[in-house]
Structure 1
Amino acid sequence: MTTRMLEGKKIAILVETEFIPEEIAAYRQHFQELGATVHFMSRLWGNESVRFVSDVDEVGKSLQYLDVNIDFQKVNINEYAAVIMAANYTSVRLRYFEPPPGQQIRPELTRTAPAVQFFAQAMANRRIIKGLLCHGLWLLTPMPEILRGRRVICHEVVLADITNAGAVYVPPPVNSQPNDPGNIVVDRDLVTGRAGHDVYAFIDAIAQQIVSQSQELAGVT
């Protein structure tokens, strides 16, 4: 890809505990190589900073930590060229919501989770490229109307949820390898990737969509 092709662009990446360290490192390195500024953000619960812990899927695997000091509830989403939901179970944790005091939990309240609302704002703005990797589409399922009819790929663990939400699943190639272009699906301003190990192909697809979007807005063909 063209060096520094994202010069001056800002990328928002939503994270939480159980992040994949290699994925986070790829965002930090590759987007910056392309010239973009990367902002890792999350719900900080009124704190100036929150430390998140990496995934523990392997016995004996050492933990890594990620300190985040940007609360997505306090940023202007329209300043970002892309908004990304990180892989693994970070999206599940970000779907957390609290019912109003004295009220019971009801299914429709799942839509009120701050991260769900934040990403719905991004989905409503076609100028923002949206990226969801692996389990990331879980963040959209509380609002199935924003997934309905969209072509996506995801980890098979999420497949039932996204198809029940009305998305159109595009399967990966048989015997695909990590970072196989077939593990990435682009549907206009929406880029999805099958698994965390596809992160570099995922980043490249998002970068290309940002450039294409910028050219389209500038009237360049």
Structure 2
Amino acid sequence: MATRMLEGKKVAILVETEFIPEEIAAYRQRFGELGASVDFMSRLWGNESVRFVSDIDEVGKSLQYLDVNVDLKNVDVSEYAAVIMAANYTSVRLRYFEPPPGQQIRKEMTRTAPAVEFFAQAMANHKIIKGLLCHGLWLLTPMPELLRGRRVICHEVVLADITNAGAVYVPPPVNSQPNDPGNIVVDKDLVTGRAGHDVYAFIDAIAHQIVSQGQELAGIA
């Protein structure tokens, strides 16, 4: 892949507590090598900055921290060439919503979580490449119309939710290895990856789609 192919492009990455440190490092490294700037963003709850805590997936592993100072509620999604939902349980946390005071919780309220609304705006803009890795597709399930008929891959933990929302699941190759191209599925402006350890193949697929999208738009112009 050509170096600096994303020069001047911006990439938004939605994060929360229980992020995977190696994934975050990969975004910084690989997108930086390709010339893109990366904005990590989340819901900041009125704070100037929020510190998130990493996931622990093995005994003895130390916690790591990620300071985020970009609130997704204050972001113009159209400024970004790609919007990515990070892996692991970050998407579950970002689905949190508050029912209006004095009102009974209803299933329709799940659609009002700010991160869900933000990603829905990105999904509506076909000029933006959307990336969802591992458990990331959980963010779209409150709005199943965003998934209906789309070809995707995901971690098997969320498979039932994704197919119940109407997505078309593409299984990985038998005995696939980390960053196997078969662990990535591209459906036009939507790029999905099976698991966090596929992050480099995931990034490269997103970069390719950003460039392809730009070439298509130039052709139309």
Give the TM-score normalised by structure 2: 0.99
By how many angstroms is 1:38 displaced?
Answer: 0.3
Counterpart AA for 1:137:
L
The CA distance in 2 between the partners of 1:195 and 1:72, in whole Å, is: 24
Is 1:36 aligned to 2:26, yes or no?
no
Residue aligning to 1:157: 157
Residue aligning to 1:179: 179
Residue aligning to 1:139: 139
Residue aligning to 1:107: 107
The CA distance in 2 between the partners of 1:150 and 1:63, in whole Å, is: 36
The CA distance in 1 between the partners of 2:67 and 2:80, in whole Å, is: 21
The CA distance in 2 between the partners of 1:57 and 1:179, in whole Å, is: 19
By how many angstroms is 1:61 displaced?
Answer: 1.1
Residue aligning to 1:69: 69
**Offset from partner CA, 1:27-66 (integer Å, 9 cap, x none):** 0010010000000000000000000000012222100000
Residue aligning to 1:49: 49
By how many angstroms is 1:147 displaced?
Answer: 0.3
Q: Secondary structure at the match of 1:11?
A: strand
The CA distance in 2 between the partners of 1:50 and 1:105, in whole Å, is: 27
Residue aligning to 1:14: 14
By how many angstroms is 1:145 displaced?
Answer: 0.5
The CA distance in 2 between the partners of 1:85 and 1:208, in whole Å, is: 18
Q: Secondary structure at the match of 2:83?
A: strand
Q: Provide the aligned length of Structure 1 versus Structure 2.
A: 220
Residue aligning to 1:193: 193
Counterpart AA for 1:216:
E
The CA distance in 2 between the partners of 1:21 and 1:84, in whole Å, is: 15
The CA distance in 2 between the partners of 1:59 and 1:124, in whole Å, is: 42
Residue aligning to 1:210: 210
Q: Secondary structure at the match of 2:185?
A: strand
Percent of aligned pairs sharing the same letter: 89
By how many angstroms is 1:218 displaced?
Answer: 0.3
The CA distance in 1 between the partners of 2:66 and 2:125, in whole Å, is: 29
The CA distance in 1 between the partners of 2:143 and 2:217, in whole Å, is: 28
The CA distance in 1 between the partners of 2:91 and 2:98, in whole Å, is: 16
Residue aligning to 2:26: 26
**RMSD, aligned CA:** 0.7
**Offset from partner CA, 1:96-143 (integer Å, 9 cap, x none):** 000011001111100000000000000000000000000000000000
Q: Which runs of 5+ in 2 are unaligned?
A: none
Q: Secondary structure at the match of 1:51?
A: strand
Is 1:124 aligned to 2:133, yes or no?
no
The CA distance in 1 between the partners of 2:145 and 2:38, in whole Å, is: 29
By how many angstroms is 1:188 displaced?
Answer: 0.1
Q: Which runs of 5+ in 1 are unaligned?
A: none
The list of structure 1 runs, each at least 4 consecutive aligned residues, that deviate by more than 6 angstroms after superposition, is none
The CA distance in 2 between the partners of 1:70 and 1:142, in whole Å, is: 24
